[in-house]
Structure formats: structure tokens, C-alpha cells
């Protein structure tokens, strides 16, 4: 077996940045010429995060193959620039689901089905699936969600304990990320929580090889020696993950610590010297913008930035590509109405309406879009944002006053956004009669679909190609019965499914930049390759600021 495994566990408390640490280590190993993949194991019982409230869980990240996954997979893709898939994320719920299905089928031949070995075997199989086939990576990093000591995490920890024995020490490495708080009053770092956390790991048979300490400021050498001594690791195997202002700095900081080098040595990886030029350039560009644009994000989950993680990152990437800092103004759509739109968006260079579900706040989004359309403010609508742009146009330009989405008003005479009755089977990719059951699961269009781009449009200018692939996560579609009516009034359908059956992008001419897309482009944006639509949206915002400054100076 060629793949080497790195297991990353977390101690003391959650939100220490395990996902970013795993992604940054992966990126560093990549720059050393190794192929890397990362898998997230989530101990919760939901089969996947698709049904979870973004308030609690943050964004649902969608892969090309249509898996609804943890937002850490977004970090993995952004840092590694390799597509993740269904293989890269699982949960306790999914593991149990498989084991119970096997039990019902009689696969266990009458045996008693238990956590050990049946659940742990299922977990091990999921981990080992990464090294199957001829595409097996050199390194697979496995991030275990949650914190050591959580009851629900135990089967995962037991599985990695067993794997290390089975695969051998040269092929597996345990990294434990903990918090080392700095007590200002005492003027020193405190190692006790780390000691306790490692003790907890040891009690279940896992000896960490490397301790990665999340800390406010770098930990002095003598303190590191103390941690090494108490935690049974090499003196040079205690590293710091210091707080940084920009998350794309983490790989550089890790490199300065010698973290990836130690990993390469311990795993006997055939690694060449790291080449960090592109990361250095990225961090430099982030720190040296030549201007600033302010973008309003009009949505429902504005209090929780995690709910729009990829979107937020995609805007930063687009800022880097345009050499501007992107300042985000989160606007709660429930507070927007025709009377206050002008004040609300005063000073904004662009308005973005992201994806979402449910009626709450939709009328405010429509008002925000009307404001953008009528005042030539660059506008970008994503998924629900595109659907709202269609509704707004139908109501206020085409005069269909009760235009709506079937999601919000099933009784409207003008359901410009609707559930297709001729349902497209998204698994077989065929049009067929839809079973209109009440179960919402499985009726979403998920994952990557091709989209044909109409020449001489904003979309064509952005992509510079005729065919693209983008990721979807929605239930409703543009209603083709209204295509001609809206086209007559000037709406352009600049992105279509290859057989013309589905509208994927709409835009307006005679406006600096007004584009809505049914898919989620934010999932495919990378720090070093901004997504073309985001890039052009920010560019339009930049032109608007420049224009405003010009007027002010004149
Ligand atoms: N609620 C809309 C739908 O289901 C949009 C979903 C989204 O924005 N992701 O089609």
C-alpha cells in the first residue's frame, strides 16, 4: 500500500481550526510534490449535514458528485485545489446506516452486531477507501470531528487506533491539536489542558506523535520541551499554530515551524523541498490591495458568517484577483423594504443575494434586487438570489404582479420559479414524470451539471468558454413557460443546460453587471484562481467605486 495516513484529532475545546490545520498541512505536502487528499469524519448522528440548520452547522458544502458535506471540505478544496467527493466525508449516522442496512440484509449471518468490530470496521473501510484504485494519493489526512473525550467520537478513535497497529508505524501518524492558553495576568502559557487531553487520548490507546498547539503567541522553547516531556513526544515534535489575521498565511507559518518537514521525516515520505512561492504571493497580494469595494450581502443568516463560508472566501479571492480589499456588509433581508433600500445600500458598490430556503426575508431580497437593477448597482444573485431576480423582473418589468416561486406561493398564477412537473431525474440525467410525494429528500438537484454559455454576454465574458460545469443544490427551477415573456422584456438567458431544458444563468443588458445563476459558483472558487463570475462582479463593483470617486473629485 502506497498511501500514508495522518490522523488529526482535537483536544480541549472545539473551533481550534482543525480543518484549516489539516488543509494547510496538506497544501505544504503538496508543494513538496506529494499527492494529498483529506477526509473528514463527523461523529454526529445526521447521515449528512444536508438537513442541518446553517445556524447550527454552518454552510453545507456540495461536491461535484453531489454529496452534501461539512464545510471543512471547502477548506480542503481551496487549499489543495483538488475536487473532493463523497469519499471525503462521513458521519456516525452514515456509518450506522450502512451497518444497519447490512444487518437487515443478513450480511452478518446471524451474528450479534456491535460497535466493535462492526461499526469500527465500517469506519476503517471508509478510511481505507481513500487508498483504493490507481489514483491512490501519497498522503491521506483524516480529520476526526469533535473533541477527544466526546462520547460519540469514541468509535472513530478506536478505528484509528486499530488502523495504526494494522498498517504499521511507518504508515500512520497521529497529530493532536490542542489549545495552549496564554494567561495575561500570570504572563505565561498554560500546558495543563494539553496534558489532560493527551492523557485522555492515551487512555484509549492513542499516543500522539506530534502536538500542534493553537496559541495566541508563539510558545517559548522551554515550554515546548515541557509539553514534549509530559506528552511523550519528540522534543522537536511540538509545534505552534499561532493566530493569524489571514487564513491563507497558515501554510507559511507551519512551514516556518518546520511542521511539514517533521511529518515528512516521521512518515519517511519521498518529499522534495517545499516551494511556497505561490502562497507567498497570495499572502502578499492579500496584504497589499490597491483599493476597496463594499459589497452588501443580503440574506437571512447574516449573524452567522459560517453559513456563507465559501461565498465569503470566493469574494476575497475575487478581491485578490482585482487587487482590491472586499469589505462585506451583511444586511438582514427581513429589514429591507422599498422605503429604506436607498439608505441601506448607501455606499455599497455591489449587492449580492446568496442562496437560501424558505419565504422569510424573501420580499426584502426582492427589494434589494429592484434597487440594484434600477440604480445600476452591480448585482450578483446566486441560486435563490437568481430566483428572486427572476421574480423581481417578472413583477416590476414584465408586469406580472403576483409573480412568485412555487416555494413561496403555490397558488400564484405566475410561478416563474417552479417544481418541474416533468421532473428531471438528476441521478440518471433523464427527463421523466416526477413522483410528487411529500418527501423532500432526494428531490434536490445536487452536484455538477454542464452549462452552455451564450456568446456576447457577461457570462461569456467572464468564463471565456462555451461550456462550463457548476455545482447545484436546489429544488426549484426557472419555469420555461415564462422564457419568451421575460426575454421579450429584455432578460437574457445566458446559461442553459446543453439540451436547452433548464435555465442556468440570467442577466440584464443595459446594466453595468446584473447576473443571476441557478448554481453555486462559490464552491469552485480558489484563492489563486478566483471564480470568473465573482471576479467580474467585483471588477464591476471596482468600476463603480472608481466612478463615484471621480464624481466626488470632479
Ligand atoms: N430554495 C431554492 C430552491 O430550493 C433555492 C435553494 C438555494 O438557494 N440553494 O430551489
Give 165-181 pLDDT, tens digit per residue.
999 989 999 999 999 99
pLDDT of 394 above 90: yes
Strands laid side by side in the 503-507 sheet: 325-332, 292-299, 350-353, 379-382, 514-517, 503-507, 492-496, 445-453, 467-474
Q: What per-residue confidence (pLDDT) applies to 547? A: 77
- Residue 20 CA to residue 76 CA, distance in Å, equals 8
Q: Report residues whose beta carbon is within 6 angstroms of any ligand 1 atom.
A: 355-357, 383-384, 407, 473-476
Q: What per-residue confidence (pLDDT) applies to 13? A: 86
297 contacts 199 by C-beta, under 8 angstroms: no
520 as an active site residue: the answer is yes
- pLDDT tens by residue, 125-157: 999 999 998 889 999 999 999 999 999 999 999
Distant-in-sequence, close-in-space partners of 142: CB < 8 Å, separation ≥ 6: 5, 6, 7, 8, 38, 39, 41, 127, 160
pLDDT of 91 above 70: yes
Q: How many CB atoms lie within 10 A of CB 199?
A: 13
Lowest mean pLDDT, pick from 80-89, 241-250, 360-369, 541-550: 541-550
542 is in an annotated binding site: no
Residue 520 CA: nearest ligand 1 atom is: 9
Percentage with pLDDT > 70 across the chain: 94
419 is in an annotated binding site: no
CA of 68 to the centre of ligand 1 (A): 14
Q: What per-residue confidence (pLDDT) applies to 438? A: 44
What does the pLDDT average to over 474-478? 94
pLDDT of 103 above 50: yes
- Residue 326 CA to residue 376 CA, distance in Å, equals 19
- Residue 250 CA to residue 24 CA, distance in Å, equals 6
What does the pLDDT average to over 62-68? 94
What does the pLDDT average to over 485-507? 96
What does the pLDDT average to over 223-243? 94
17 is in an annotated binding site: yes
Structure-model confidence comparison of residues 52 and 71, the more confident one: 71
CA of 473 to the centre of ligand 1 (A): 7
Out of 49, 473, 478, 522, mutate this one to test ligand 1's pocket (max ligand atoms within 8 Å of CB): namely 473
What does the pLDDT average to over 520-544? 97
Q: What per-residue confidence (pLDDT) applies to 425? A: 52
pLDDT of 18 above 90: yes
Domain range summary for the chain, segments of one domain joined by +: 4-282, 289-416+480-495+504-553
Out of 333, 387, 409, mutate this one to test ligand 1's pocket (max ligand atoms within 8 Å of CB): namely 387
Q: What per-residue confidence (pLDDT) applies to 302? A: 64
What does the pLDDT average to over 211-230? 94
* Active-site pick, 215, 231, 348, 383: 383
CA of 477 to the centre of ligand 1 (A): 9
- Residue 17 CA to residue 21 CA, distance in Å, equals 6
Hey, whose CA ends up nearest to atom 1 of ligand 1? 357
Percentage with pLDDT > 90 across the chain: 84
Q: What per-residue confidence (pLDDT) applies to 436? A: 41
Q: What per-residue confidence (pLDDT) applies to 305? A: 77
Domain 4-282 matches domain 289-416+480-495+504-553 at the CATH topology level = yes
197 contacts 148 by C-beta, under 8 angstroms: yes
- pLDDT tens by residue, 306-340: 888 999 999 999 999 999 999 999 999 999 999 99
Residue 357 CA: nearest ligand 1 atom is: 1
pLDDT of 424 above 70: no
Q: What does CATH list as the number for 4-282?
A: 3.40.50.300
Hey, whose CA ends up nearest to atom 6 of ligand 1? 474
Separation in Å, CA 357 to CA 68, 367, 473: 15, 17, 11
CA of 60 to the centre of ligand 1 (A): 13
CA of 475 to the centre of ligand 1 (A): 6
Please enumerate, as own/partner, the contacts of 393-396 that have beta carbons within 8 Å and a separation of 24 or more: 393/486, 393/489, 393/491, 393/506, 393/508, 394/482, 394/485, 394/486, 395/366, 396/370
pLDDT band at 7 (very low <50, low <70, confident <90, very high): very high
Hey, whose CA ends up nearest to atom 7 of ligand 1? 355
* Active-site pick, 371, 472, 520, 531: 520
* Active-site pick, 122, 200, 477, 522: 522
pLDDT band at 27 (very low <50, low <70, confident <90, very high): very high
Give, in words, the CATH class of 289-416+480-495+504-553: alpha beta
CA of 354 to the centre of ligand 1 (A): 10
pLDDT of 433 above 50: no
450 is in an annotated binding site: no
414 as an active site residue: the answer is no
What does the pLDDT average to over 81-89? 95
Mean pLDDT across the chain: 92
Residue 476 CA: nearest ligand 1 atom is: 10
pLDDT of 14 above 90: no
407 is in an annotated binding site: yes
Structure-model confidence comparison of residues 496 and 270, the more confident one: 496
Amino acid at each position: 500500500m502506497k498511501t500514508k495516513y495522518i490522523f488529526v484529532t482535537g483536544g480541549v475545546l472545539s473551533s481550534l481550526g482543525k480543518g484549516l490545520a489539516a488543509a494547510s498541512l496538506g497544501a505544504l505536502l503538496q508543494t513538496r510534490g506529494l499527492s494529498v487528499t483529506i477526509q473528514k469524519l463527523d461523529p454526529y448522528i445526521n447521515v449528512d449535514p444536508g438537513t442541518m440548520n446553517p445556524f447550527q452547522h454552518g454552510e453545507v458544502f456540495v461536491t461535484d458528485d453531489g454529496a452534501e458535506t461539512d464545510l471543512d471540505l471547502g477548506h480542503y478544496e481551496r487549499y489543495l485545489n483538488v475536487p473532493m467527493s463523497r469519499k471525503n466525508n462521513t458521519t456516525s449516522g452514515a456509518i450506522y446506516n450502512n451497518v444497519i442496512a447490512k444487518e437487515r440484509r443478513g450480511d452478518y449471518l446471524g451474528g450479534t452486531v456491535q460497535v466493535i468490530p462492526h461499526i469500527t470496521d465500517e469506519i476503517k473501510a471508509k478510511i481505507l477507501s481513500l487508498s483504493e484504485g490507481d489514483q491512490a494519493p501519497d498522503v491521506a489526512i483524516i480529520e476526526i470531528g469533535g473533541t477527544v473525550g466526546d462520547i460519540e467520537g469514541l468509535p472513530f478513535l478506536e478505528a484509528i487506533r486499530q488502523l495504526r497497529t494494522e498498517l504499521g508505524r511507518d504508515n500512520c501518524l497521529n497529530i493532536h491539536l490542542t489549545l495552549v492558553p496564554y494567561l495575561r495576568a500570570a504572563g505565561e502559557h498554560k500546558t495543563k489542558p494539553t496534558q489532560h487531553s493527551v492523557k485522555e487520548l492515551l487512555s484509549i490507546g492513542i499516543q500522539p506523535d506530534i502536538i500542534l498547539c493553537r496559541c495566541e503567541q508563539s510558545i517559548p522553547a522551554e515550554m515546548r520541551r515541557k509539553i514534549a516531556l509530559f506528552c511523550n513526544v519528540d522534543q522537536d515534535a511540538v509545534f505552534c499554530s499561532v493566530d493569524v489575521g489571514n487564513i491563507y498565511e497558515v501554510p507559511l507559518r507551519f512551514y516556518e515551524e518546520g511542521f511539514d518537514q517533521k511529518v515528512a521525516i516521521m512518515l519517511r515520505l519521498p518529499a522534495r523541498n517545499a516551494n511556497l512561492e505561490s502562497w507567498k504571493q497570495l499572502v502578499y497580494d492579500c496584504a497589499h490591495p490597491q483599493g476597496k469595494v463594499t459589497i452588501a450581502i443580503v440574506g437571512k443568516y447574516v449573524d452567522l458568517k459560517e453559513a456563507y463560508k465559501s461565498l465569503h472566501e470566493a469574494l476575497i479571492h475575487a478581491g485578490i484577483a482585482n487587487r482590491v480589499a472586499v469589505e462585506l456588509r451583511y444586511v438582514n433581508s427581513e429589514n429591507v423594504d422599498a422605503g429604506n433600500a436607498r439608505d441601506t445600500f448607501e455606499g455599497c458598490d455591489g449587492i449580492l443575494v446568496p442562496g437560501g430556503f424558505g419565504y422569510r426575508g424573501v420580499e426584502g431580497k426582492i427589494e434589494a434586487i429592484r434597487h440594484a437593477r434600477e440604480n445600476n448597482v452591480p448585482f450578483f444573485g446566486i441560486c435563490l438570489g437568481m430566483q428572486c431576480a427572476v421574480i423581481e423582473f417578472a413583477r416590476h418589468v414584465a408586469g406580472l404582479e403576483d409573480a412568485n416561486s412555487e416555494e413561496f406561493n403555490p397558488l400564484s398564477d405566475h410561478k416563474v420559479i417552479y417544481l418541474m412537473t416533468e421532473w428531471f431525474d438528476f441521478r440518471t440525467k433523464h427527463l421523466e414524470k416526477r413522483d410528487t410525494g411529500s418527501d423532500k429528500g432526494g428531490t434536490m438537484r445536487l452536484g455538477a451539471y454542464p452549462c452552455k454559455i451564450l456568446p456576447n454576454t457577461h457570462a461569456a465574458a467572464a468564463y471565456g468558454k462555451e461550456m462550463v460545469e457548476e455545482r447545484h443544490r436546489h429544488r426549484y427551477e426557472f419555469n420555461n413557460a415564462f422564457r419568451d415573456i421575460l426575454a421579450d422584456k429584455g432578460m437574457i438567458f445566458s446559461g442553459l443546460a446543453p439540451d436547452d431544458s433548464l435555465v442556468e444563468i440570467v442577466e440584464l443588458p443595459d446594466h453595468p453587471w446584473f447576473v443571476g445563476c441557478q448554481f453555486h459558483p462559490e464552491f469552485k472558487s480558489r484563492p489563486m484562481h478566483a471564480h470568473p463570475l465573482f471576479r467580474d462582479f467585483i471588477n464591476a463593483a471596482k468600476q463603480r467605486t472608481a466612478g463615484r470617486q471621480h464624481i466626488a473629485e470632479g
